[in-house]
Structure 1
Amino acid sequence: MKKKQWQGWGPGEQAEQHYLVEPRALAGGGDIRHVSEFLRACGWRDRSKPGGPLLMDSLDRSIRIAYDPFVHPGGWTIHGKATAHQEEWTAILGRQAPVEIVAGLTDALTRPRSAHAPNVWAPLQEQRWHTPPGAGHVTAVSPDGLAWMQFHQDPGGHAMWWSGAQDQQGNGWTAQFTATTPMHLVQSYAAALASPEPVMRPRGRVPHSARIRTTSVSVLPSQLSAWKQARVTAARAATSARNSWKTNRPRTTAHPHAQRGVRAHR
């Protein structure tokens, strides 16, 4: 079938074949710049060495994100230091965890917490995930049976979140979160895991799996760049807005003369 050219194609620009892959959980790792460029736009510090693994720190250095493909099994490690209001925590995701799902967690690190109490299971229930009989632990499984989310607690009282995706051919990945991982981060991860939206992969980067469904699309390099830039631009705008609010927010502390006035009436 002959393909039609899209409106706005520039002279000499050639379309490239990509695939929309679903379910997203089995789409393979993808381009880690989907995660790292967003964090840079939010002001995170890139500590990576040339040719080495990705290493990024939050502005206050309380959180470190690393991606190392050079060790076995390799993958993502996200570590939060203990603070006055938060215990130390760690999240580990396998190398084949799609970057769009990893970003569900890492993007949330750049945003203020919601005033609503987090609920890890809510986004899964919205996508009709179910609890299999006899699971033994609090577990939710995707409708196709390929992905899962579990709160695992052993008899000794040690607890963790365990998640991932796998097909019958052994393709897949796992993720572990310490029980101290902030719940709103685990919820954001769960929402990205359960999202029904497909993800895009270039030709030659789609895993071989009988459970994957693909749709072929022709995309211009300029379109790919524009989509990536839109994500970075949104991150910069949100960060700038938050910094501006912090700088210009009204003062809530009492003036010295007001404090003296209070003491005078005692």
Structure 2
Amino acid sequence: MNKKQWQGWGPDEQAEQHYLVQPRALAGGGDVRHVSAFLRASGWRDKSKKDGPLLMESPDRTVRVAYDPCILPGGWTIHGRAGDATVEWSAHLGRQTPVEIVAGLTDALTRPRSAHAPNVWAPLQEQNWHTRFADQNYTATSPDGAAWMQYRQDADGAAMWWTGAKDEQGNGWTAHFTPNTPMHLVQAFSTELAGPDPVMRPRGRVPHSAQIRTWSVSVKPSQLSAWQQARITAARAATWARTSARSTRPRTTARPYNPAGGARTRH
């Protein structure tokens, strides 16, 4: 990095042009570090090879998150084991799936499961998505018609979750989840899919689409860094809290009986 570039981080740093993009489902892929940095801060292992695709592994080694843009069709693959560890599930998300939506699922992998029964459709209905049931397929479509979420079954009874977004020119992405994907993860994904807030993209990374709305904003590099660091700090704090709770949990097993006056052994 040359001296001119470094000046952007000093007291006289210059604001850079970014764009807020709405709807978020058509905002393009974004920076994969939005996903990977959070997982790393949550204690996940980075198993990526040098100059190779991204590969992250959960602390208990039951889930892997990979991103490879160089293969066809390319994109995200999340693979895990559920229940008794013999049931496998997977999710495949296209290369242009916005990282903010991907993070809905991957962030949820780092958190304890809620005691409440998950409902994939609730976040969509709260944002006024249109729902319909036809031919054993239950579908929810965004108000602008650009994005959808569907639970579909074929004639043989095979089922899967299918979702995605496309503009009128056919640009966009699709994703699918195997039917045994934990429901709370699919709900976490649908929550971000339906999220009404715009997402930010740097100049030159905004898709060309007549169906998106953009607002130009000036952002200083230090502001971007602070926002990114806040997300990482939150992940570290949550991981520390969970680890501390486990380490300070009171013992529930009874201590060995020691007769009165008997010798005590120090351990």
Instruction: Work out the number of aligned pairs and report it.
Output: 250
- What does residue range 51-130 of structure 1 map to in structure 2 within 5 Å? 51-81=51-81, 83-84=83-84, 87-130=87-130
User: Post-superposition shift, 1:208?
Assistant: 0.3
Alpha-carbon separation, structure 1, partners of 2:53 and 2:85: 30
Q: Which moved more, 1:145-154 or 1:133-142?
A: 133-142
CA distance in 2, matches of 1:143, 1:134: 19
Q: Is the 8 A contact 2:133 2:139 kept in 1?
A: no
Partner SS state of residue 43, structure 1 = coil
Structure 1 Cα separation of the partners of residues 80 and 24 of structure 2: 27
Residues 126-141 of structure 1: pairs in structure 2 closer than 5 A:
126-132=126-132, 134=134, 137-141=137-141
Deviates more, 1:46-55 or 1:18-27: 46-55
Residue 179 in structure 1 maps to residue 179 in structure 2: yes
The change in CA–CA distance for 1:158 and 1:20 in structure 2 (over 3 A counts) is: same
Q: For 2:123, give the aligned amino acid.
A: P
CA drift at 1:155: 1.5
What is the aligned partner in structure 2 of residue 158 from structure 1?
158
| CA distance in structure 2 between the partners assigned to 1:115 and 1:85 by the alignment | 20
Give per-residue Cα distances to partners, 1:81-109, cap 9 Å, x unaligned: 35516721000000000000000000000
1:205-242 deviations in Å (ceiling 9; x for gaps): 00000000000000000000000000000000000000
1:43 match: 43
Aligned to 2:244: 244
1:83 and 1:190 mapped to 2: Cα distance?
A: 22
> What amino acid is aligned across from residue 92 of structure 2 in structure 1?
I
- Measured in 2, the distance between the counterparts of 1:132 and 1:151 equals 11
Query: 1:241–1:67: structure 2 CA closer, same or farther, 3 Å change rule?
Result: same
Specify the code of the residue in structure 2 equivalent to 1:158: A
Asked whether the 8 Å contact 2:132–2:138 carries over to 1, the reply is no
SS of the equivalent of 2:225 reads helix
C-alpha distance in 1, partners of 2:49/2:124? Answer: 38
Residue identity over aligned pairs, in percent, reads: 73
The separation in 2 between residues aligned to 1:168 and 1:229, in whole angstroms, is: 36
Q: Which runs of 5+ in 1 are unaligned?
A: 1-8, 259-266
> Where has structure 1 moved over 6 Å in runs of 4 or more?
none
Distance in 1 between the 2:241 and 2:86 partners?
Answer: 25
Structure 1 residue 50, shift from structure 2 partner? 1.5
Partner Cα distance (1:136, 1:52) in 2: 41
The letter for the 1-side match of 2:191 is A
- 1:195 paired with 2:181, answer no
User: Is 2:212 the counterpart of 1:226?
Assistant: no
Q: How far, CA to CA, are the matches of 1:72 and 1:23 in structure 2?
A: 26
Query: C-alpha root-mean-square deviation of aligned residues, in Å?
Result: 1.6
Query: Structure 2: which amino acid aligns with 1:71?
Result: I
Q: Is 2:21–2:201's contact at 8 Å kept on the other side of the alignment?
A: yes
Q: Distance in 2 between matches of 1:92 and 1:133?
A: 24
Structure 2 residue 13 is the aligned partner of structure 1 residue 13: yes
Give me the whole-angstrom Cα distance separating, in 1, the residues matched to 2:78 and 2:140: 23
Distance 2:94 2:169 in 1: 17
- Give the CA deviation at 1:11: 2.8
CA distance in 2, matches of 1:85, 1:121: 27
Q: TM-score, with normalisation over the residues of structure 2?
A: 0.90
- CA change 1:73–1:85 in 2 (3 A) is closer
In structure 2, do the counterparts of structure 1 residues 192 and 139 end up closer, same or farther at CA, with 3 Å as the change threshold?
Answer: same
Letter in 2 for 1:89: W
* Partner-residue secondary structure (3-state), 1:78: strand
Supply the AA of the counterpart residue of 1:249: R
Residues 242-264 of structure 1: CA deviation (Å, up to 9, x unaligned): 00000001222333449xxxxxx
